[in-house]
Structures are given as C-alpha cells and as structure tokens.
Amino acid sequence: MPTSPKRQDRALTFVIALMAFAAFASGFSLRVSDPLLPQIALDFASSVGQAAAIVTAYAIPYGLMQALAGAFGDKFGKCQAVVGACVVSGMLVLLSAFAQSLPQLTLARFIAAPAAAIIVPLGMAYVGDVVPYAQRQTALARFIAGQMMGMIAGQIAGGVIGDHFGWRTVFRVLAGVFALAGAALASQLAGNRWTRPMRPPPEHKLSLAKEYRLLAVTPWTRFIMVAVFVEGAVFFGAFTYVAADLNVRFGLSYSMIGLVVAGFGVGSLAYAGSVRRLIASLGENGLVLGSGIVVMAGYLALAAEWSWQVAPFAAATLGFGYYMLHNTLQTNATQMLPQARGTAVAAFSSALFLGQSAGIALAGWVFDRSGAVPVFVVAAMLWPVLALAIWRKLRGREL
C-alpha cells in the first residue's frame, strides 16, 4: 500500500531529525576540547598553546577525511555511512579518556577524528538530495542546528563535567552520545524508505578523481573553497582561545567558562530560528554583509571586555554572525556539483577544517606570547574583508 504524501513527509522529517542528532554528536566532539584546554594544560604541565595541539590534531584529520565523505555516501548510502561513523566514533573516542600524557591525548584525538568527520557533510548532502533548493537554506539551517546544539553541549560538558569529574569523564560521556545517535538512526534503516541509498544513475556517475577535477576547474567553486578555508582560519583561529582567555584574564572556573563559551551555540540557534525571516528580508547578500558587521563587533567586544560578563553576549553575537555568512556559503556549496553533491559538500567541509587547523596553530603561537587580545583584534579586522569579498562575488553572479 503506497504511503501518503503527508506520512512520507513525516518520515522524511524524522530521518533529517535523526541525522541532526548524529550531527549533534559530531558537534559535541568538535568543540568539547575548547573549555578543557586550561585544565589539560595544568594536568600535563604545559602551556595553553601547547595543549591546543589536541584541537589541531583533531581538526586536521577531520578536515582531510571529509574530502572522502562523498565516496562513503555513494558506496554505502548516506544514512548507512552515518550510522557506521557514529559506531566507530563511539569506540575510538574512549582512547582519549585513557591518555597518560599530552602526546598520547593528541594522538587519541587524531585517531578519533576521521569517523566523526563524515557525519555533517553527508547530512548536508542528504538534505541537498531530498529538499528543493528554494527551501534548502532553511532546511540546512535546521539540520545544522543539531550540530550547533552539540557544540553547546560539548562546551558546557567540557566545562561543567570537566570541573566536577575531570576531563577524562567528558570523553566517556561523548562516547555514549555517539553510541546513542548511531542506534537511533540504525533503527530506521530497515523500515523507513527515506533511508534507502540514493545513488546517481550509472551514466552520470563520475570517478572521485573526475569529481574533484570538476571542482578544481570551476572558478566559482574555487572561490567558495578558498573563502571557507579563510573563514575557518580567521573565525576559529580566534574563537578557540576564548575559554583560555577567560581563565587567564578573569580566573573563571572551568564550569563557568563552559557556560560562557556556550553562548556561541545559543547565538547559532537564534540564527537557525530566524533564518527564514532573515532570508526574506535581507537575502543572501544582506546576510553576508551583516555578518561582517556582527562578527567584527563580537570580537572587538572580547578584545575590549572590562569584565567577564561581556563574554557570553559577545559569544552569542559571534555565533549569530558566523552562521549568517557560513550558512550562505554552505547553501551554495550544495549546488557546486549537483551530480556529485556528497563529494562537493565534503570538499567544502574539508577546506573549512583545514583552515581551522592553520588558524588555530598560528593563533596559538600569538596567544602564548601576547595573549588573546591581538588574536581577537586581527579576527575583527579580517572578517569584514572576507564578507565584502564574498558579497561582491555573490552580487556579480546575480548581475
């Protein structure tokens, strides 16, 4: 008996929600280390900049592995690949809980990253497959809300759980989150038609090398990739050190730091809740220009803050402003190569996290020598330049 359209819609919405839950686990893992840096540095008698190696060690393989996410999605199906990634991530993340030195912890984070890396780009590609472009930015924003909430949970857990039970317990909790997300999505693989693998017809299927060659030779695609690399370097090169700055300048407890830094996720969710109205009133170009102003204001507030109470509002401002630009870029990324959407989105995500790795490493060198203020000021100056460059390209495509 055929399924009614209304029931089909509910079934699809449920699958997207479960994919968002998997993105929640990935987001939890991605930002969980930020509030732990001061505690880990103290535990292993290192500087914060040295401890930040665990963030870079996670971001580099996370970025590189995303470039292969499309191949996993094509071979196994996007939902099926996400289930496998959650299961593997849940097992590997436990290695971090047993590390006995900073190099061991750095290696453990390096090993845990690849499986978690493919979750979000495959989820984005899945939304691109099943949601028409006119509704896609809204649907993507709601999917990414899962990752945003995971970032909030990771930042709070990193602070609160780390403060009361130690940083090792944080990674044990993270392993449980991955296991739960994988089990929830796996429960739909047999009975929900929207989880069936969606593969291009054989005559349209390209090899992975040809897909990347197409991405490389297209000027617009090259611009998107460079833009998201710079975006990751500028924004997260600075934001990673907000938690350490709060500890150094104001002596905040790890619990309070986790709550303050989680303002980023709150701002991100506020954007996701208002994205439909923002697009209707500002359009893509207006969102990008607005991001340049909002993010600059957020970083200048962090640089000039006269008390720690400024930080949660600045973090929320940064979360809102970041996704004004990033969500526009990632929506365009879903259209870079429609016949190989998984590969295109994976390459986009890979460039983002490779940019993060470069920015975090460079900013860590500056932080250890001059503190966070120069890092925040440089980010505040560079972000509007990036926003203006993207705005001009978008405007040129419309003319």
Q: Is 335 exposed, middle or buried (0-12, 13-18, 19+ CB in 10 A)?
A: middle
Contacts with 339 (C-beta within 8 Å, 6 or more apart), sequence order = 200, 204, 206
pLDDT for the residue numbered 1: 34
pLDDT score at 201: 57
Please give the Cα distance from 382 to 363 (Å, whole number).
Answer: 14
Nearest to 87 by CA among 170, 23, 175, 151: 175
pLDDT for 222: 87
The tens place of each residue's pLDDT in the chain, 399 residues long, gives 334 444 457 888 888 889 999 999 998 998 788 888 888 998 898 888 888 889 888 888 887 887 777 778 778 888 999 999 999 999 999 999 999 999 999 999 999 999 998 898 888 888 878 777 777 767 777 787 788 788 778 878 888 888 888 889 999 999 999 999 999 999 988 888 888 876 655 555 566 677 777 777 778 888 999 999 999 999 999 998 998 899 888 888 878 888 888 888 889 888 878 888 888 888 888 999 999 999 999 999 999 877 899 999 999 999 999 999 998 898 888 777 766 666 777 788 788 888 988 898 899 899 888 989 999 999 999 999 999 999 999 887 764
Handedness of CA 161, 310, 267, 321 (dihedral sign): negative
**Residue 233 in contact with residue 356, Cβ under 8 Å?**
yes
What local confidence, expressed as pLDDT, does residue 142 receive? 76
| Whole-number Å distance between alpha carbons of 201 and 198 | 9
- Write the DSSP string, 82-149: HHHHHHHHHHHTHHHHT--SHHHHHHHHHHHHHHHHTHHHHHHHHHHHHS-HHHHHHHHHHHHHHHHH
Backbone Cα Rg of the chain:
20
Cα-flanking dihedrals φ and ψ of residue 3, to 5°?
-85, 135
Entry pTM = 0.72
State whether residue 46 is helix, strand or coil: coil
Q: Which of 16, 130, 144, 122 has the alpha carbon at shortest distance from 70?
A: 122
Instruction: State both tokens at 148.
Output: 């945003």
Which amino acid would we find at residue 239?
Answer: F
SS3 state of residue 392: helix
pLDDT at residue number 4: 41
Tell me what pLDDT residue 3 has. Answer: 44
